Amino acid sequence: MNAHNPSGWRPAMPLDAPPGQHAATSSGDRGLMLEEPLIFELGQPGTCGVDLDEPEMAVLPGLARYLRSAEADLPGLSEPEAVRHYTRLSRQNYGIDLGPFPLGSCTMKHNPRLNEKVARLAGFADVHPLQPVETVQGALGVIVQLADWLTALTGMDAVAMTPKAGAHGELCGLLCIRAALEARGDAREVILVPESAHGTNPATAAFAGYRVESIPATIAGRVDLGALEARLGPDVAGVMITNPNTCGLFEPNMKRIADAVHAAGGFVYCDGANFNAIVGKVRPGDLGIDAMHINLHKTFSTPHGGGGPGAGPVVLSAALAPFAPLPYALRQSDGALRLIEEDTAPADHPQGLGRMTAFHGQMGMFTRALSYILSHGADGLRRVAEDAVLNANYVLRSLEDVLTAPFGASGPCMHEALFSDEGLPEGFTTLDLAKGLIDEGFHPMTVYFPLVVHGAMLIEPTETESKSGLDRFIASLRHVAERAKAGDPALKSAPHFAPRRRLDETQAARRPVLVWEGWT
């Protein structure tokens, strides 16, 4: 290797592996299973992989007292070394390009490459957010066209485009609700959240300054309408409801819930995480919803990128539209596109929240999402929802003989199939099934969420899985479930064939090592 190896990185496979076991190698790599050290162990601070002109001038005298005492303690790699480092690391990752990624509530669908190509057009990728408006009419065009699609698909009045991700969109929606209530002099303190809700909902409500109260679910996995109606009152600012809900079920009483909340003077926030199940089939605006964020990285296929960036535009009802944040793009009657910012906001948008982020939102995600939407069109998007729901129901019915489907008897699911750990033999858990799936070459489903089901397994295949691909996944999960039922002890220590086996997460949390500490 090289001299910089203070943390003692070693080839991963010990040379003295017991006789009879898989042969050890001197490198630690095994064929195409490649180990990779940290950049700090590979590189040196003096190395640079970018050719830069030598600076031709001295430092400004006024800057002299602020200069660094030493160069930043950061390793450099030449281009070939860097390409190899990141390519080798990439091979330790699973991605939707490799196979199904059936994480419930995450909507991991195929990421079309046209979207990537379009987003990289210089006219989108190489444009500054503060350029004069006349020089960015195409960028504003993307925002306005996407906004038109989102409002049409949801049946809502307006959309706030700037939120950076779903959780930021939730925050935007709740702040709009607060602003609307404050504007009518109504200080309400409580947001109601069903107990099946994703943790973001209560976190967002608290971040927006609200007190959170939980509403129970019925045995059928829906919001308990009676309990909800009983709790409504003059202190309730609104409810946050996920529909389709986190159990993969549509809330049939949504309109009734909305009417009751409105009658009590509150607002309805819908978590749009599961919009993929209903896009083109149901318009949330028809259900009485006041605000809903749309995760462009879910329904509209922008890549997850190993955990972001997301994008979370929020569609708003007429009652909340006046409070949307700045800036926003607007089509004038003459067809020209304007940007509404602080200079004209007092006249154009006097009740607006102000900014929630520095610039115009996730433009690079807007171009991708618009490209996806135009590719599908109104007919294709409808088919997206239909095939997503069809695929999920196919999984549900193909596995309910080996796994317990807690709501299977109550009818079809929406875009995700939910199972519980009921019926697994003593000593075997949902986690074991998930890790067993890894050995089968699949990314596991969402596990232990929603919390209302014990040992939950939430499977969202999405519409971009073929039937033959689903059949392979179903066969593998069936096999793993049967191994558990047969008491196969090897399943308890799965995965065996992944780049790493189960991790010591306790150690990681008890004594956190968050940065590499070498070279000191």
Partner 1 sequence: MTIYYTQDHEWIAVDGGVGTVGITDYAQGQLGDITYVELPDVGASVAKGEAPCVVDSVKAASEVYTPVSGLVAEVNMALEEAPELVNEQAESGGWLFRLTLTNDSELAGLMDRAAYDAFVGGL
Partner 2 sequence: MTPSLGGSEAMRYLPLTASDRAEMLGVIGAADIDALFADVPAEARLDSPIAGLPRHASEMAVGRHMAELAAKNLSAGNAPFFLGAGAYRHHIPASVDHLIQRGEFLTAYTPYQPEIAQGTLQVLFEFQTQVARLFGTQIANASMYDGSTACWEAITMAGRITRRGRTVISGGLHPHYIAVATTMARFTGDVLLVQTPELTAAPDDAATIAAIDDETSAVVVQYPDVLGRIPDLAAITEAAHSKGALLIVVVTEPVALGLIEAPGTLGADIVVGEGQALGVGLQFGGPYLGLFGCREKFVRQMPGRLCGETVDADGKRAFVLTLSTREQHIRREKATSNICTNSGLCALAFSIHLTLLGGAGLGRLARNNHTRAQAAAAALTRVPGVSLLNDSYVNEFTLLLPRDAREVVNDLAGHGILGGVSLGRLYPGETDLHCGLLVTATEMTTDEDIQQFATVLEALLVDTHEGAPT
CB of 509 to partner 1, least distance (A): 4
Which of partner 1, partner 2, none lies near 85, with the C-beta cut-off 5 to 8 A by kind? Answer: partner 2
CB of 104 to partner 1, least distance (A): 17
Q: Where are the beta strands (DSSP E) in 356-467?
A: 417-419, 446-447, 457-459
Which of 94-102, 166-174, 360-368, 504-512 is the region at the interface with partner 1 (rule: CB under 8 A)?
504-512
Please tell me whether the peptide bond between 18 and the residue prior to it is cis, using omega within 30 degrees of 0. no
Which of partner 1, partner 2, none lies near 365, with the C-beta cut-off 5 to 8 A by kind? Answer: partner 2
- 89 CB-side CA count, 13 A: 9
Residue type, 124: F
Choice between 292 and 311, CB closer to partner 2: 311
Alpha-carbon span 286 to 156, nearest angstrom: 8
Report CA-CA distances (Å) from 92 to 38, 54, 185. Answer: 14, 38, 55
Alpha-carbon span 237 to 210, nearest angstrom: 9
Which of partner 2, partner 1, none lies near 362, with the C-beta cut-off 5 to 8 A by kind? Answer: partner 2
Report CA-CA distances (Å) from 321 to 158, 210, 317, 349, 436. Answer: 6, 21, 6, 10, 48
Is residue 22 a contact residue for partner 1 (CB under 8 A)?
Answer: no
Residue type, 50: V
Residues in region 199-258 near partner 1 by CB under 8 A: none
Which of partner 2, partner 1, none lies near 408, with the C-beta cut-off 5 to 8 A by kind? Answer: none
CB of 419 to partner 2, least distance (A): 16
Residue type, 206: A
Alpha-carbon span 13 to 189, nearest angstrom: 58
Please tell me whether the peptide bond between 313 and the residue prior to it is cis, using omega within 30 degrees of 0. no
Tokens of 412: 């079809």
Residues in region 411-470 near partner 1 by CB under 8 A: 448
Alpha-carbon span 349 to 340, nearest angstrom: 8
Q: Which of 185, 306, 510, 520 binds partner 1 (CB under 8 A)?
A: 510
CB of 508 to partner 1, least distance (A): 8
Alpha-carbon span 295 to 273, nearest angstrom: 6
Displacement of CA 151 from its chain's centroid (Å): 21
Beta strand pairing status for 158-160 and 337-340?
Answer: unpaired
Choice between 43 and 158, CB closer to partner 2: 43
What count of other Cβ atoms lies within 10 Å of the Cβ of residue 447? Answer: 18
Which of partner 1, partner 2, none lies near 183, with the C-beta cut-off 5 to 8 A by kind? Answer: none
Is residue 509 a contact residue for partner 1 (CB under 8 A)?
Answer: yes
Which of partner 2, partner 1, none lies near 448, with the C-beta cut-off 5 to 8 A by kind? Answer: partner 1
CB of 515 to partner 1, least distance (A): 19
CB of 65 to partner 2, least distance (A): 8
Which of 10-18, 84-92, 203-211, 505-513 is the region at the interface with partner 1 (rule: CB under 8 A)?
505-513
CB of 502 to partner 1, least distance (A): 12
Choice between 114 and 508, CB closer to partner 1: 508
Which of partner 2, partner 1, none lies near 207, with the C-beta cut-off 5 to 8 A by kind? Answer: partner 2
Choice between 246 and 464, CB closer to partner 1: 246
CB of 393 to partner 2, least distance (A): 5
Q: Which of 333, 506, 513, 520 binds partner 1 (CB under 8 A)?
A: 506
Choice between 301 and 420, CB closer to partner 2: 301
CB of 217 to partner 1, least distance (A): 20
What's the Rg (C-alpha) of the chain? 26
Phi, psi dihedrals of residue 240, rounded to the nearest 5°? -115, 120
Q: Which residues of 403-432 are buried (b: 16+ CB within 10 A; e: fewer)?
A: bbbbbbeeebbbbbbbbbbeebeeebbbbb
Alpha-carbon span 303 to 307, nearest angstrom: 9
Is residue 514 a contact residue for partner 1 (CB under 8 A)?
Answer: no
Residue type, 475: A
Choice between 287 and 452, CB closer to partner 1: 452
Choice between 421 and 436, CB closer to partner 2: 436
Choice between 394 and 448, CB closer to partner 1: 448
Choice between 59 and 318, CB closer to partner 2: 59
What count of other Cβ atoms lies within 10 Å of the Cβ of residue 520? Answer: 5
CB of 423 to partner 2, least distance (A): 21
**Which residues of this protein are in contact with partner 1, per CB under 8 A?**
448, 505-506, 509-510
